[in-house]
Structure 1
Amino acid sequence: MQFIDLAAQYQHLKTKIDKRIQTVLEHGQYIMGPEVKELEQKLADFVGVKHAITCANGTDALTLSLMALNIQEGDAVFCPTFTFFATAEAIAYEKATPIFVDSNPDTFNICSNDLEQRILAVLDEGKLKPKAIIAVDLFGLPADYEKLEALSKKYNLHLIEDAAQGFGGSITDTRGNTRKAGAFGDIATTSFFPAKPLGCYGDGGAIFTDNDEYAELIRSYRVHGKGKDKYDNVRIGMNSRLDTIQAAILLEKLAEFPVELDSRNHAAKQYTDTLQEQYKVPVVPNGYTSSWAQYTLQCDDRDKAIAEYKEKGVPTVIYYGTCMHEQTAFASLGYKLGDFPIAEKLARSVFSLPMHGYL
């Protein structure tokens, strides 16, 4: 069996996707064609925000967001240590300093209690200026944005939602108001890497915001800092556009996405019902919905469990076996083993089972 069966999804959507691609081939507007604008509007409508701006990939989405927020050298940006490298890489790329934060043992997401302690420690030291938080919706589950938004307001920090894995997830508050992943913080980002809940057939990404100023800046930065046209460059930007064929593919995948989310949640429930006596299974808090980018178990003897699944022909993957503070690229920050006990335990005990909309 496949860990993520993109072929099954394509066969299901083949006629519609092929027609969309053929339309692009016929009109020939391969860069920023009409499908890009159509996709951006439908993404904004799906998430429930004013602006959705597509770009070349999820890492660029983070970089563009940090550029719009004027993150720079001397700034401290807080992010989980248990995450994919791109989250912290984007911070370092802007010459800011990533300040790593421990994890919640049940949801895998950033721990708000540890986050506040890290903020206070940076303020006490006085060497860096606390500027922003990047929260990651790990494995499909939105982070605890009620607490995160309160902390960002308390300490006057920008909040970025990294929804690369969480797109399609949601939180319903006690008043019955539902917000979807991509609608939290000052700016949110996602990735359309093929393995993501909503993925294209290459690289792609998007940024979401209700802030008109940020949206205008991001639209400029993604095309070489353009002003009134592409030959009027008013700031230093980058080249980060979603190509039209990928937008065309995503339009058909987005139309089918709610059905696939139902299928993912059904599969996750079956996993939980079957495996909860054997492993520590994922926790979805009350009011939360996960898009199940991954179905991740915890096991003290992970190698043995993986070997048993392999014998049965079931593929598994480890997300993530190395925390950010353990990465060679961040060795100069001076973290040591034991600084993030929960995240380190997760890195040595988690493994993920197959998960997709056609399981």
Structure 2
Amino acid sequence: MGTNVTQPSADPAGKRQALKAALAGGPLVVAPGVFDLISARLADAQDPAALYMTGYGTVASHLGVPDAGLATYTDMVGRVRQLAQHTRAPLIADGDTGYGGLLNVQHTVRGYEQAGAAAIQLEDQEFPKKCGHTPGRRVVAAEEMVKKIRVAVDSRDDPDFLIIARTDARTTHGLEEALRRIALYGEAGADMLFLEAPESEREMERIGGEADKPLVANMVEGGRTPVLSAERLRAFGYRMAIYPATGFLAAAAMLERVYADLVATGSSAGLDHQLYSFDAFSRLMGFEEVWAFDRRHADEPDNVAAAGSERTKDQED
């Protein structure tokens, strides 16, 4: 088991242009959800058109707490920077509510852009926010979110840095209000629209038929929205699908199995067929660069050993 790994790109502008080009036409843009540097490297090695930094998964892996508004801007912008620097694919980053009022939104947009993200997702929940597929979510007035979108658009330096506007109004206020909101957010200047948690294919088809900006579909296994094929989503009018939970749900399932077996048997013998190759993992993490550096700059192992023997002999003499 292994993955071909190439060097990450340090060109944020190029990544943003690549994302805009992918969204302009062609197949659905599929963005695997990433939540730490291991998941990011593994997903990036598959050469996706984009990666999605999931707030739920990032908060869980970084802080070990629910995605319920407990993470700060500082927590999250640091993760954005790490993920963007170590991957080639454009990174779409969850910016929650912007972490406060209008001035906070300006600060968040500028920080995410400077950290290397290709796009930021902002939502209209009240602060503190909650995961979009859990109960108890409340939204601010649509007019307040319109102001946030306008501030976000005005705050970016690179016009290719995309603003994704999300509404969580469907669950509490119904589909009509959610559709009204994304229309307003599009008029305010959002580049992409994200109507969270539609509850049927019929609703998704209607959303695709009425939206006048590129649409994001949120495919959460076990969530409120049906998980559809790429072809079906494209036919409904969606341009991008994010899969925020797929990676951490898969990792949790496998870790639970191997840890339970390890504790029960007292040994990892027999688990090889369930484990990633250690050599491949070392290469995934970039050890080939370390080995190449050592060959160029460090003493050869034989020379080091010989020098050590000579020093020992001299000391004995």
State the TM-score bracket (shorter-chain normalisation): 0.3 to 0.5
Q: TM-score, normalised by structure 1?
A: 0.29
Q: TM-score, normalised by structure 2?
A: 0.32
Between the two structures, name the one with larger relative contact order (CA 8 Å, sep ≥ 6).
1
